Amino acid sequence: MGRLVLDEPLASELQQVAEADNVSIEIWLRDAIKRARWEARRKKVHSETEWWYSLPISERAAYEGQYVAVVDKQVVDHDSDENTLYVRTRGIFPNKLVLITPADKMREIRVTSFRLVQ
Amino acid sequence: MTYPYELQYVPPLPIIPVQLSLPGDPPRTGLLNAAIDTGADLSIIPVAYLIALEAAPTHQALIKSPFGNPVPVDVYQIDVWIEELAFPGMSVVGNETDEELILGRNLLNKLILLLDGQRGETELFETRPAIRR
């Protein structure tokens, strides 16, 4: 890959933000790219989730008690075991983001512990 | 394997050092102290570590506590390592507001642990020890 040449004022701005974080420009850019990728994947999962749970209950009922795998607003697989489905769809769609979610309703996680702030 | 309680907390907090990786990869982080929390259904990891691993969320969920309304969160699948023991494909909640790692029951239920509060140590056993009466 070739070199990337940046014009002013972008080059100075990049140097300033990297210095403020006490890292090199290369590390700052690498971290920024990772965060941008994470944001995009997150958005995609949220949009797939919204699509799945907006489907009529009658349509989702076909997968009752199971997990569904959704890619680009299409159900591509389903299974009663979440991890089995995760491993299988990763093999079929290694470069795609796959939503794996309970078919019936969004999972609820309980956290009953708490911590006192001193 | 024995781990001292974290004394910066009052009362002291049982912790286990863990490492994290994407599924199927070797450990990709340094040792991170994780609190033992039997009150949490799932383990909870600050998103900074998940971003560094380039983990992608697998689904959204709602987290419920006794102190407020359910909050939407993202759930990821990663491998968690305790020394050379690997726990593959663990579901973890990404936490955007706190820096603490929490080991919830989805991982703790795979372990044999002794919380020795009197000594301030957590002991992890590979097989169940003989119980003295």
Question: Could you tell me if residue B105 is inside a domain?
Answer: yes
Strands A107-110 and B57-65: parallel
Which residues form the domain of B65? 2-125
Helix ranges, B1-133 (H):
47-53, 105-108
Q: Note whether residue B132 is domain-resident.
A: no
Question: Chain B within 8 Å of A103 (Cβ-Cβ)?
Answer: no
Which of the residues in chain A have pLDDT under 70?
A: 1, 118
Find, in chain B, the residue whose alpha carbon is nearest to that of A42.
B57
The predicted pLDDT at position B56 comes to 92
Q: What's the pLDDT score for residue A1?
A: 67
Q: How many domains does chain B have?
A: 1
Chain B residues whose CB is inside 8 A of the A76 CB are: none
Q: Which residues in chain A touch residue B23, judged by CB atoms under 8 angstroms apart?
A: 86-87, 90
Q: Which residues of B touch A (CB under 8 A)?
A: 9-10, 23, 37-42, 44, 47, 50-52, 54, 56-67, 70, 73-75, 77, 89, 91, 93, 104
CATH number for position B13: 2.40.70.10
Contact A38 B51 (CB under 8 A): yes
Which residues, in sequence order, are bridge partners of residue A15? none
**pLDDT higher than 90, residue B129:** no
CB contact under 8 A, A111 and B63: yes
Are B43 and A89 in contact by the 8 Å Cβ rule? The answer is no
Q: How far apart are CA B104 and CA B43, in angstroms?
A: 4
pLDDT of residue B108: 96
Q: Which residues contact A34 (CB under 8 A, 6 or more apart)?
A: B51, B52, B54
Dist CA B37 CA B101 (whole Å): 10
A62 touching chain B per CB within 8 A: no
For residue range B10-54, list pLDDT tens digits in order.
899 999 999 999 999 999 999 999 999 999 999 999 999 999 999
Q: What type of residue sits at position A41? A: R
| Residue B105 phi, psi (nearest 5) | -70, -20
Contact assessment for residue A71 and residue A93, using Cβ atoms and an 8 Å cutoff: yes
Taking only the tens place, the pLDDT of each residue in B70-100 is: 899 999 999 999 999 999 999 999 999 888 9
The answer on pLDDT for B69 being more than 90 is no
pLDDT number for residue A3: 82
Q: Average pLDDT of B100-127?
A: 94
Tokens 């309970």 sit on residue: A102
Residue for token pair 């040449």: A5
Residue of A46, A83, A114 with shortest CB distance to B89: A83
What does residue B23 show for φ and ψ, rounded to 5 degrees? -55, 130
Q: Identify the residue among A39, A47, A111 best suited for mutation to test binding to B, counting B beta carbons within 10 A and taking the highest.
A: A111
B41 lies in some domain: yes
> Best of B9, B60, B95, B110 to disrupt the A interface by mutation (most A CBs within 10 Å)?
B60
Is 0.90 topped by the overall pTM?
no
Q: What is the 3-state secondary structure (H, E, C) of B82-109?
A: ECCEEEEEEEEEEECCCCCEEECHHHHC
